[in-house]
Amino acid sequence: MATPFSCKGEVFSSGGPGIFLLGRAEALSQTLAAEYEGSVTLIYLDPPFGTGDTFSVKLSSRKARLTIPAYADTLSREDYLAMMRAVLTACHRMLAPDGSLYLHIDYRMSPYLRLMLDEIFGQANFMNEIIWAYKSGGRSTRHFSRKHDTILFYRKSKAVYFNIHAVGVPRGPEKRNNMKRSIDELGRVYFSIRSGGKNYTYYEDTPIFPSDVWDDVEHLHQRDPERTGFGTQKPEALLRRILLASSRPGDLVCDLFSGSGTTAAVAAKLGRRFLVADASPVAMQLLRARQLVGQSEPTFFDGGHALRILYDTPPLGPFSPAIRIERTADATKVYFDGCADAELAYLAAGELAPDGIFTAHAYALMPVPGTALTLPNVKRICVQACDHAGKMEFVSLP
């Protein structure tokens, strides 16, 4: 029978290595600052921009086109800046001496947050004001169209880790700056120019490093395959550049406004550990699905690539999935017979530990009636169901 018991979180054998926390960044900040003090290499924050708007996730389910509220960006300026001060102060504590922070914002709050970061991090630790310029969206006739975001880049100290070589791209065959194109004795194409009495030579494979204007990273278009439906989703290419330049494999990367889950997705692909958080249950479900896609039935658990999702109180849903089980001497099969009052986005079967942590031994995304999950015989079978809004139900089976 469905039971609102005290589940405190979930653990999966794949999808990590990382942790997702369900909660508001400012509410979590003090605890995180104490627990992770001096241990985070890179923090990327993409908070609300102070627009005064509300944002939704748009999904195509099997039955309909869904619009699900994600978050409200409606704080007053005073409350917004108080929230960000708590978050940024905690971030400064969490960063290791070689760590850095990238704050993604736009024209509305950028001046205020630049001054706040100067105060918290120190003016001497300012690295860059990065301009991410893009071409998508409409055009204004009342003023010049606003087609860029600002990313404020600060270090914790002079010991900061930064590797520009990790984000260089080959110069390629294009001729630039009136350079002369030539071929050397080995048949290699190179370009040369004389300036200030010196000759400068560059080969096609000579790397070019990004400046502080990033106009080569495209904004996500409506039909982009990366799209999750989250309204303010950022492209993986943007996070890839940031993570490659300011972290190493195995480093801990943090994002306290997880949103569509891009930071975690890129961190996992690049071999970084992640610590991400968001207050929205739909953001939790998007991250869960994004990290588990293509990995529908784990067969072992060693913790090396574990994904952990933690919450004080699970956002319980008002629905009851129909579940039945069949046991054999070696395994248990859990059958999903449907859910009359909700369409499920995710279904998992596993074991509930005494500490309230649910270990998923098998799971399926977008389950349909007749879906079967196979798991080993465990002491306390638990089945978890989640709808597209992130609401969950747990079924404890004898």
pLDDT digits (tens, 9 = 90+) for 314-332: 999 889 899 998 888 888 9
> What average pLDDT does this structure show over 244-272?
97
Looking at domain 24-162+211-278, does it have CATH number 3.40.50.150?
yes
| pLDDT at position 196 | 81
| pLDDT at position 294 | 63
Distance CA 227, CA 273 (A): 23
Confidence of residue 3 (pLDDT cuts 50, 70, 90): very low
Confidence of residue 4 (pLDDT cuts 50, 70, 90): very low
CATH of 1-17+281-398 among 3.90.1150.10, 3.90.1150.200, 3.40.50.300, 2.60.40.10: 2.60.40.10
| pLDDT at position 209 | 94
**Number of residues assigned to the chain:** 398
> What average pLDDT does this structure show over 161-170?
95
| pLDDT at position 1 | 42
> What average pLDDT does this structure show over 68-90?
96
Is pLDDT at 190 greater than 50 in this prediction?
yes
- In the chain, where the domains are located: 1-17+281-398, 24-162+211-278, 170-207
| pLDDT at position 293 | 86
| pLDDT at position 183 | 83
Name the burial class of residue 111, with classes exposed (0-12), middle (13-18) and buried (19+) by CB atoms within 10 angstroms of its CB.
exposed
Q: Same topology for domains 1-17+281-398 and 24-162+211-278, yes or no?
A: no
| pLDDT at position 94 | 98
Most confident residue range from 222-231, 260-269, 355-364:
260-269
| pLDDT at position 295 | 55
CB 132 within 8 A of CB 148: yes
| pLDDT at position 298 | 46
| pLDDT at position 398 | 65
- The fraction of the chain above a pLDDT of 90, given in percent, is 68
Most confident residue range from 29-43, 63-77, 292-306, 312-326:
29-43
Is pLDDT at 301 greater than 70 in this prediction?
no
Distance CA 299, CA 244 (A): 31
Mean pLDDT of the chain: 91
| pLDDT at position 2 | 44
CB 257 within 8 A of CB 45: yes
Written in H, E and C, the secondary structure of 64-117 is CEEEEEEEECCCCHHHHHHHHHHHHHHHHHHEEEEEEEEEEECCCCHHHHHHHH
Is pLDDT at 137 greater than 80 in this prediction?
no
How would DSSP label each residue in 139-163? --SSSS---EEEEEEEESSTT----
> What average pLDDT does this structure show over 86-92?
98
| pLDDT at position 372 | 95
CB 367 within 8 A of CB 344: yes
Maximum distance among all alpha carbons in the chain? 84
> What average pLDDT does this structure show over 237-244?
98
DSSP state of 316: B
